[in-house]
Structure 1
């Protein structure tokens, strides 16, 4: 395993789905064998769009589910450090120091922020959401992450991190590595309803933890070619969610090619195409379910992984913050004040 570090993670808003898998988890599973890997449970980022007491009360449970999903997908617990973002206050300290190295117009050019605000039903963008990329920079740089696997949505965020790292190093000396983006092969997955990307909030997702019957039900209800009213009508494969899923999850390329040819020729019905997809998805998810069952059979194990990982990460972040403050000269300012105060106290305490 390389000594280089990878930082990745998710907001604890519920169970992970196939969109997460193709967007980032598949990359994480592959890369965590090569890099020292930190997995952030980004509950502070969650607060930018979901900050009710009810949302916050669900963090522990959602964190447990999220980590279990990641482990079930193939990440080995002894090669990953999971940590809870809000349990490390030093991350907030670093965020405060870094936010002065980027301008408001630069953040306003990050395309996904307006989309996130709109999806959350916000009429106006919260201050914290505008600063989301800066806090993300603090997350990456606090553990000196060198590799960040991302989907298309987060690429612009990590580019802000790269700019902040270069700006800090230019002003105060070489402290941070400039992280490298590693893009996933399939950046997004369309939802089962065909309306945009797969999303928990839209109810158009297939969860990694769904049982076979649930997967079958969701697949049979998937959106297909709206112009195809009968099986003998030639259909469109391009942009058809069912075939998009076949392309990603069905390893039987000969079957996929045959179904596409018959679909275009009007010689196969949607039901047969969907039945084949349900079989393929359940074959893909079977080993994920088996791994999940093994971890769920050990109550408290995931909590232990999160707790131990958070303690380890906090120590790492503390060291980074000390280095950052020293490089900026902040420790020098307080040291000067402290020394003069100590001399004054001695003078006052000295006998006349």
Structure 2
């Protein structure tokens, strides 16, 4: 089976026909008319590559660092919830695959495996931990302490999701996690197992009063680097610098929140320019499906990219091995794109490699 899956789209097609309908719809759907969901992918097609030829690219180095932590290629795993809907091994399988590929994973708060179990299963893998701002600050601080103890090297704060976007398939389904799965990181925190099967519980936990002062508070309770996920404008990028964030993930939550916002690759250049001269690193997630997408994102200023849905499609196909194969496919495609563009190292991937013209947008 796996031999027939040769690109990310193959894995998505496999997941579409093999996952239960509610599980596939949960992972795949976007907000409302899904304009942003589709534009995240289509925006890459509006960019064309201008390769430099006749260069010696026989020895290529794909490795880089994110906040000083080395990964073997600039593709890491975004935080996504409910991995056990794709495979019984869930986030444990995902973490093992990331570790074996020598790249990083952001473990989501709303995972279906405990953070501590994920850490034990992949002791040498680079892991960051994602949090949302919760009304209960003592619970939030408790999660941060657990992340520190589990060996996580960064805290990713989701800043764009004070409420959930309206997703039509999920409204129609009204399906919680199938038993025995639940949001494991919140077991023993005052919620019943039944409550921890439903996103409505997450909604009750989230704090809609989120402001930049909360970033200051998070920095005051941990020495770990702080990465802000969900920045989409130069104004918010400036604020991230002012409040001493260590990194930004340019993200629109995979098109799952506010429909009609910019594709992430279109927002990226303005944000890179806004933080120019600071020490803050900029990453991108959203719409990455091919190695050339990675090349375009790096050319426009991203240090690395993070992928979400492709990893879930790999997990659905073959657990840990499926995630590893998806990462390998993206890595190999990126390597080929570098070679054919005349780049031996990531430093040679510059804005001159990418061009956008209106004609490219005529059919998109």
Please report the TM-score for the alignment, with normalisation by the length of structure 1.
0.27
More relative contact order, 1 or 2 (CA 8 Å, 6+ apart): 2
Larger gyration radius, structure 1 or structure 2? 1
Pick the structure with more helix per residue: 1
TM-score using structure 2 length: 0.27
